[in-house]
Chain A
Amino acid sequence: MFSIENITHSIDAWLNSTFSPGLALLLESLLVGLCVIGLFTVLGLVLVLMERKVSAYMQIRMGPNRVGPGGVLQTVADTLKLAMKEGLTPDGADKFLFNLAPYLVIVVAMMILAPIAFAKGVQLWDLNIGVLYVSAVSSLSVIGILMAGWASNNKYSLLGAMRSGAQIVSYELSAGISIISIVVLTGSLRVSDIIASQQDGWWLFKGHIPAVLSFVIFIIAVTAETNRAPFDLAEAESELTAGFHTEYSGMKFALFFLAEYVNIFIVCAIAATLFLGGWMPLHIGHWSGFNHVMDYIPSSLWFMGKTFFLIFVIMWFRWTFPRLRIDQLLRLEWKYLLPISMFNLLLTALIAVKGWYF
């Protein structure tokens, strides 16, 4: 059956046979870098269009349908527009930090792509602390946000950035604890181990109650981490400020915008990897016949399907719920989600030790 593994293997073999190992590694890194940038761009395009179409159909209207067949070239037009806009730097802004902030956010987003397994054998860097790496590096994006708010020389940007920062830092705790509960069940931080352990079924089903609880908490926490509704007070239009990216225009704004959507993709990819098996097809225990049939669907399709389903769910939230006030938001995390997730971790540890999972 079709698999990207074959392509990557053949390219790797050809490079190694033609060039010296050092040069081959260098060329591979370059190639991978280009792929990542390409993936970023394509993902950004697809996700923005998906958001607009999904929101439109939920609001009983059509969404973009003029540019390109069925509106698919809409985001290309938007990106061109943003690229041609004037990039203003406000008067008293700290120029260095102002320009650095969007790049920091983008770089962090790209770095997190490293340990994610897109298909069987397609993983940039399978390090032994993959999950910890993801959790740690995603925290760096807060620096970019605070930098953007501070460097804008605008009181309201700073307020918005502080609120965003507080929100992200709080919800990282619940997200982290949910991740840990799956690590406890698997027994390893390595991403490929986690996926391999879901050979006989996804953790969402195998881990029954604690895993479902973890999953729900994780989805809520990452919605808050990526500043999506209903937790998007920092960027709400009908409230006071437009958040930390008020003063940005043109290409820099496009980078923030892109980074937000790629962040959504990344956290959904993590959720898919941990709870829904990543590229692992749906296997039920030892029903070899069923499993064999499921294996016919390429693993990249499995991964993308799961991730995009979760992205759809997160977009669904945005257009259904009203916004939470900042104090309600923080209260939700510290008084409800954190204690529940800590209790859930204990529960998971209990069932892991006792072996009370499928």
Chain B
Amino acid sequence: MNNEELKARLGELLPAAVFEEGAEWVTMVIDPAAWKEFARQIRRDPGLEADYLFCVTCVDWKTHLTMVYHLTSTVHRHTLVVKAKLDRNDPEIVTVSDIWRTAEFHEREAYDLFGVKFKDHPDLRRLFMTDDWKGWPLRKDYEDSVNMIKL
């Protein structure tokens, strides 16, 4: 499917989604509460079949956090990007590790570096930092007088 068709189909599945313009791939912003159901739909829908989740990112936009999911389909070979805005003080979103097994590690990384809590994740622990690390290193307001050098 090319981008217009994708947009049309995705708009059908989730009318509340907002599409961003000017990006290489179809980028949509959704409500975090609707993520699980939407994820199931785009995985199963025969026209979309987004079965390959290849990148899970979190971006800290000082007022809120955004989760970015990059998905592609190995059947139709199209790519789409799904974003969800999260509240900075209590970032929570449902896990998709039961739909795409790769999300298990990626979500642990997002938890470790940004503090995003994933509901129903089978094993939400820190991945890179030591288990007793305080703070969320990749956030913009992270202070560490020992390890960070402020220029």
Q: Do chains A and B touch in the complex (CB under 8 A)?
A: no
A residues with CB within 8 A of B: none
